[in-house]
Amino acid sequence: MMDVEVRELMQAFVLSDYQVQEVYSRFCAEISKGLKRSTHALANTKCFPTYVQDLPTGDEMGKYLALDLGGTNFRVLLVSLKGHHDAMVESQIYAVPKDLMVGPGVELFDHIADCLARFVEKHEMRNSHLPLGFTFSFPCEQKGLKEAILTRWTKGFGCPGVEGEDVGRLLHEAIQRRGDAEIAVVAILNDTTGTLMSCAHRNADCRIGVIVGTGCNACYVEDVANVDLLHADFKRNQKDVLVNAEWGAFGESGQLDFVRTEYDREVDDTSINKSEQLFEKMTSGMYLGRLVRLILMRAMQSKVIFKLSNRREHFATALQKNEDVFETRFISEIESDSFPEFSKTRTIITELFGLEKASVEDCQKIKYICECVSKRAATLVAIGVSGLINRISDRRVVVGMDGSVYRYHPKFDAYMRNTMHKLVKSDKEFDIMLSEDGSGRGAALVAAVASKTK
Ligand code: GLC
């Protein structure tokens, strides 16, 4: 039996069936609002049309370059689509230094162009004129496949001079400034779109792509008739269009206030985008560790954990060091640890607090805290996924998933399915698949289907 005090402490993180239903209804209403021209401006979930209308068949062929910017790293990739649902990817990771994440936009794009040039040089492709797909994982209002206006930065980025601008143009100009490679940017896409495309490449029933990584978002296949926001001169001769929901922003009109806790408010208050991305702040890797850190601080203060230690002050100082000392990956490690050894948990406690022999009880309590935070995150993601599955007319829907939280957490998938079984309509069938390199393969596939359409 879990200790009463820690249960009490975590009570606000345990969503009741009523709360789940209520968040579900509010979420569905918000998606409808985002799609309609008349209510779009008021909606949190912007539901941007991506201008991608064809899912891959699996026969796509050819070589493509891809760029992937949106999390902790930046990547350049060379993707060879080989037909028969097959692809080969070579890639190179480049760090994005912290100061570039908030420095002038021009410098960020110059860095991207530099890395691209180095990659192209290394692979001796300077004059190969390969088409390039740019996975830019931030909210963009697309005017077409190649034109994407950044509406706001998220996930700790904040470079001035980019919001309101076409990131395709900024990239093109940075490539031109270097002047040493001829590269055509043929598509700009979100990572969720890439995930959907790469999963659809393998499984024809895939209709939704979800990321639970640094940020949290989804893309899905919508009936063109429901999408008001497409450009007037865009030909509506196809049935579907992929929509980037940007659901991380859900809750900004107060819809989640009845479930948000004091810890959620503090994480938001101390973030660089206060009052924005509130759903994301309850579900994604950038914030889950920060939530656990705040709860641990409270637990220590009220002697719920480390009750017998006279070094609590010292432990509290260790947590105060910075908001990211308790990394989100610790949650995955602690939840996959086994009773009563708790070897990973103990290593983390030693690393953080210098405490060598934490008691079994303390390890159990910390694990319970992590469980409550990640289970709530998975429940919220499942609410969103169920809302989208129920919107889609196909009876069978496969959901493609990616992102560090989903990928490395031992139970995120199981927690999600649990909630989905309650919310997905009984006449539907769903499954979840793990995406393989959505940002790279997905970018190549968008570029490939785009040239096919042309
Ligand atoms: C943030 C971005 C969104 C992206 C997600 C996952 O929510 O706004 O565009 O898809 O993170 O990376």
pTM confidence score: 0.97
**Phi and psi of 115, rounded to 5°?**
-60, -40
Is residue 181 classed exposed, middle or buried when 0-12, 13-18 and 19+ CB atoms within 10 A define those classes? buried
Tens digit of pLDDT for each residue in 337-371? 999 999 999 999 999 988 888 999 999 999 999 99
Mean pLDDT lowest among 9-23, 88-102, 209-223: 88-102
What does pLDDT average to over the chain? 94
Tens digit of pLDDT for each residue in 157-183? 999 999 999 999 999 999 999 988 788
Task: Check if 138 has its Cβ closer than 6 Å to any atom of ligand 1.
Answer: yes
186 assigned to some structural domain: yes
- Structural domains in the chain (count): 1
3-class DSSP state for residue 234? coil
Q: How high is the pLDDT of residue 201?
A: 94
Cα–Cα dist 233/322, whole Å = 50
30 assigned to some structural domain: no
324 assigned to some structural domain: no
442 assigned to some structural domain: yes
Over residues 54-61, mean pLDDT: 94
Q: Is the pLDDT of residue 236 over 70?
A: no
Task: Check if 155 has its Cβ closer than 6 Å to any atom of ligand 1.
Answer: yes
Q: Where are the beta strands (DSSP E) in 7-106?
A: 48-49, 61-69, 73-83, 86-95
What is the distance in A from the centroid of ligand 1 to the CA of 314?
37
Ligand 1 mutation pick, 153, 154, 272, 439, max ligand atoms within 8 A of CB? 154
Band of pLDDT at residue 451, cut at 50, 70 and 90: confident
Tens digit of pLDDT for each residue in 109-152? 999 999 999 999 999 888 888 899 999 999 999 999 999 999 99
Tens digit of pLDDT for each residue in 304-314? 999 888 888 88
What is the distance in A from the centroid of ligand 1 to the CA of 68?
12
126 assigned to some structural domain: yes
CATH number, residue 142:
3.30.420.40
Q: How high is the pLDDT of residue 125?
A: 85
Q: How high is the pLDDT of residue 180?
A: 83
String of b and e for 82-119 (b: at least 16 CB within 10 Å)?
A: eeeeebebeeeebebeeebbebebbebbbbbbebbbeb
Sheet architecture: strand order including 429-434 = 48-49, 240-244, 216-223, 206-212, 396-402, 429-434
Vertex 121 angle, CA 120 and 127, to 5°: 70
Over residues 25-41, mean pLDDT: 97
Q: Assess contact for 89 and 441: CB atoms under 8 A.
A: yes
Cα–Cα dist 86/57, whole Å = 11
Task: Check if 50 has its Cβ closer than 6 Å to any atom of ligand 1.
Answer: no
Write the residue with the smallest CA distance to atom 11 of ligand 1: 215
426 assigned to some structural domain: no
Tens digit of pLDDT for each residue in 193-233? 999 999 999 999 999 999 999 999 999 999 999 998 888 76
What is the distance in A from the centroid of ligand 1 to the CA of 204?
24
Q: Which residues are part of the catalytic machinery?
A: 155, 191
Q: Is the pLDDT of residue 59 over 60?
A: yes
Q: How high is the pLDDT of residue 237?
A: 74
The closest-lying atom of ligand 1 relative to the alpha carbon of residue 219 is: 10
Range of the domain at 181: 48-202+437-453
363 assigned to some structural domain: no
239 assigned to some structural domain: no
Write the residue with the smallest CA distance to atom 2 of ligand 1: 138
